[in-house]
Structure 1
Amino acid sequence: MTSSAIADAILDAAKKYTLSVYFVILFCGLIGNLCNITLFSSLKVLQRNQCAFYLMVASIVDFVLLLLVLPLRVTDYVFGYDPTKLSIVWCKIRQAVVAQFSLMSFASICFAAIDQYLSTHYNPQLRQFSTFKLARRLVISAIIILILHSIPFFIFFEIQSTAGCSIYNLGFSRYYSFVHFCVLSGILPIMFSGLSAALAYLNVRRIVRHQIPIVRRRLDRQLTAMILTKVAFLVVTTSPFVIFRIYQINRAAIASTNYIQIAVEQLILTVTSSLFYINSAVNDIILFDIFF
């Protein structure tokens, strides 16, 4: 079998994987996020809880993100139709919105993990920083900052015949690859949320020793379990994508005649991308199950 035939077989496997897995992620993600939004908005005990507020924001953002990204990924991979390659307006809007919403999802999880650490801390001075008023201010501030952050995406994303909707400015391309993908969408969320969730877990284990009402104690345990689950999925599903992106940035350029390596990297990118979006999908069903 020739190298081109092997490459075609690998690309065909990537298309079949995309068609099957992305549909499952989209279906489960939309239902799971809707369940979460309903849960956080209907239960009175959660309506004024800042940690639940952060998680509800994350669910809303994830719902929109999945609805905006995955259907177009499927049509592009399987049917070869991508509106972002045909409309410059849609190209710019989609990239800017996806960048903003993905970072907002990560920010919400980080806020929730940090808040849960503060709200379960034995030190009353630290617990004072965990308020619903502060939660709303942080979310509004994050939205404003991310809107400003998305402005360069409107400017630098263009459509050209060589690569379609992409960045053709070298400086912003480096920022997009190194800072946006590797740092803002990977290293920072993993570090902040992971550390805060672990500390919150240790705090909850100490709660038994304090004179705290049983209802509050149970709620703290449930919310901490939700945060730990969310963070665990974030680490597991985001890390492969970030690692592969770092590899792509640092590896030497691939010769256009190396069909097999190009196809293999396309397959790996497809799999790691699906893991990246699983973080916004399957996780939400697990979070919903914790309360029922």
Structure 2
Amino acid sequence: MSSSTIADAILNAAKKYTISAYFVILVGGLIGNAFNIILFSSLKVLRRNQCAFYLMVASIVDFVLLLLVLPLRVTDYVYGYDPTRLSIVWCKIRQAVVATFSLMSFSSICFAAIDQYLSTHYNPWLRQLSTFKLAQRLVISAIVILSLHSIPFVIFFEIQSTTGCSIYNVGFSRYYSFVHFCVLSGILPITLSASCAALAYLNVRRIVRHQIPIVRRRLDRQLTAMILTKVAFLVVTTSPFVTLRIYQINRAAIDPNDSVRIAVEQLLLTITSSLFYINSA
């Protein structure tokens, strides 16, 4: 069997996997996020809780993110139609919005983990830092900062006939690869959220010693369990994608004639990308 035949088989497998996986993630993610939004906004006990507020913001952002990204990925693979290759306006706006919403999702999870650590801490001064007003201000500030952060995406994303909608500025391409993907969308949220969630778990284990009403204790335990689950999911689903990106950045250039290796990397990118979007589901 020739290398080109093997490469075609791998790419075909990647295509079938993408269509199936993204469809399942899209449907499941929209239903799950819609359920979370209804849950966090309707239950009275959660309506003014800052941790629940962060999780609701994350669900709203993830809902929109899935709608923006996955349908176009599926139509591109099935029909070969990608609007970002045809419209420069859509190319720029979509990339800017996706960058903003993806980082907003990570920010919300980090805020929730930090807040849960503060709200369950034995130190009264630290517990007082966890307020609903602060949560609202942090979310608004994050939206403003991330919107400003997305401006270079509007400037530097362009369309070329060979590779479509992409970055062709060397400097911003390095920032996009190293900082945006590896740090802001990977190492930083994983480290920060995992650390705070673990500390919140330790706080909850000894919360019984505090003079706190039993209803509040149960709520703190439930929210901490939700945060731990969400953070664990984030670590598991995001780490492979970030690891692959770091590898691709540091490896030597692939020989254009090595079709099998190119196909294998495409398959790995497809799988890790789907895992990345499972985090939003």
- Scaled to the shorter chain, the TM-score interval is over 0.9
**Size of the alignment, in residue pairs?**
281
Alignment of 1:109-124 (within 5 A): 109-124=109-124
Look up the equivalent residue of 1:166 and give its one-letter code.
S
CA deviation after TM superposition for structure 1 residue 77, in Å: 2.2
Extract unaligned runs of 5+ from structure 2. Answer: none
Q: Could you say which residue in structure 1 is the equivalent of 2:265?
A: 265
- The answer to whether the aligner puts 1:242 opposite 2:256 as a matched pair is no
Structure 2 Cα separation of the partners of residues 75 and 47 of structure 1: 38
Look up the equivalent residue of 1:103 and give its one-letter code.
L
TM-score (norm 2): 0.99
- The answer to whether the aligner puts 1:156 opposite 2:192 as a matched pair is no
C-alpha RMSD of the superposition: 0.5
CA deviation after TM superposition for structure 1 residue 45, in Å: 0.4
Structure 2 Cα separation of the partners of residues 10 and 88 of structure 1: 31
Alignment of 1:149-228 (within 5 A): 149-228=149-228
Runs of 4+ in 1 over 4 A off after TM superposition: none
Look up the equivalent residue of 1:128 and give its one-letter code.
Q
Structure 2 Cα separation of the partners of residues 85 and 248 of structure 1: 24
Structure 1 Cα separation of the partners of residues 176 and 246 of structure 2: 12
Extract unaligned runs of 5+ from structure 1. Answer: 282-292
Structure 1 Cα separation of the partners of residues 113 and 203 of structure 2: 12
Structure 2 Cα separation of the partners of residues 161 and 23 of structure 1: 28
Partner secondary structure for residue 206 of structure 2: helix
Structure 2 Cα separation of the partners of residues 239 and 134 of structure 1: 30
Q: Structure 1, residues 20-58: CA drift from partner, whole Å, max 9, x if none? A: 111000000000000000000000000000000000000
Look up the equivalent residue of 1:41 and give its one-letter code.
S
Q: Could you say which residue in structure 2 is the equivalent of 1:256?
A: 256
Look up the equivalent residue of 1:242 and give its one-letter code.
V
Partner secondary structure for residue 165 of structure 1: strand
Q: Could you say which residue in structure 2 is the equivalent of 1:102?
A: 102
Structure 1 Cα separation of the partners of residues 143 and 51 of structure 2: 17
CA deviation after TM superposition for structure 1 residue 78, in Å: 2.6
Structure 1 Cα separation of the partners of residues 248 and 25 of structure 2: 25
Residue range with higher mean Cα deviation, 206-215 or 20-29: 206-215
Look up the equivalent residue of 2:138 and give its one-letter code.
L
Partner secondary structure for residue 208 of structure 1: helix
Q: Could you say which residue in structure 2 is the equivalent of 1:89?
A: 89
Q: Could you say which residue in structure 2 is the equivalent of 1:74?
A: 74
CA deviation after TM superposition for structure 1 residue 209, in Å: 1.5
CA deviation after TM superposition for structure 1 residue 98, in Å: 0.3
Structure 1 Cα separation of the partners of residues 149 and 217 of structure 2: 39
Structure 1 Cα separation of the partners of residues 211 and 135 of structure 2: 26
Identity of aligned residues (%): 86
Q: Structure 1, residues 222-254: CA drift from partner, whole Å, max 9, x if none? A: 000000000000000000000000000011111
Structure 2 Cα separation of the partners of residues 228 and 164 of structure 1: 39
Look up the equivalent residue of 1:113 and give its one-letter code.
A
TM-score (norm 1): 0.96
CA deviation after TM superposition for structure 1 residue 61, in Å: 0.2
Structure 1 Cα separation of the partners of residues 192 and 65 of structure 2: 22
Partner secondary structure for residue 17 of structure 2: helix
Partner secondary structure for residue 150 of structure 2: helix
Look up the equivalent residue of 2:188 and give its one-letter code.
L
